[in-house]
Amino acid sequence: MDKQPNSRMCFVCGVQNPVGLKITFYEDHEAEQVRVNFTVPDAYQGYPGVVHGGIVSAILDEVSGRTVLLHGSDDDLMATLRLTIRFRRPTPTETPLTAVGWLERKSGRGARVAGEIRLPDGTVTAECEATLVNVPAEFRTSWENEKQYWKVYE
């Protein structure tokens, strides 16, 4: 599997964000998916021992949104227009988890993506469907200074 780039300050993948999750994502070309194995520390709980729903949503947004990079370039990154989350059961903290995202459909202006978080036994704790859209040019211009930090880190 190929490692995807991380950013500097993104809450989910930013390597320098002091309060971020610092998750690194991988491309599984055989399965046509983006995936990651990770553990969420207790510091990100809602209820004791349960990952906060906002954190679950952020991870699903990231893993599904990154699927547009599978057969493209960093310039193919899109922004989430709509994100629908289904919480199937509590997602536990301090437990090995797997997040998987896949591309359902891509057009010139946007994409439809999906993802899920799984327990070690494969049980799905949460899933998402999302609609992504191309980012406006003026937004991309503001990201120019950050491009140097968008890379695969060792």
At 154 the three-state DSSP class reads coil
Q: Phi and psi for 12 in degrees, rounded to 5?
A: -85, -50
Query: What's the pLDDT tens digit per position in 131-147?
Result: 999 998 888 888 888 88
Tokens of 15: 């390597």
Tokens of 110: 């946007």
How confident is residue 154, by pLDDT bands cut at 50, 70 and 90? confident
Distance CA 70, CA 53 (A): 27
For the cut 90, the answer to whether the pLDDT of residue 48 exceeds it is yes
Instruction: State the average pLDDT for the chain.
Output: 95
Residue 112: HSE in the Cβ half-sphere, 13 Å Cα cutoff: 3
Please name the amino acid found at residue 110: G
Closest CA to 134 of 67, 68, 35: 68
Closest CA to 12 of 68, 70, 51: 51
Query: What's the pLDDT tens digit per position in 96-110?
Result: 999 999 999 999 899
Q: Would you state the pLDDT for residue 8? A: 95
Overall residue count recorded for the chain in this entry = 154
pTM of the model: 0.96
Q: Which CATH class is domain 25-137?
A: alpha beta
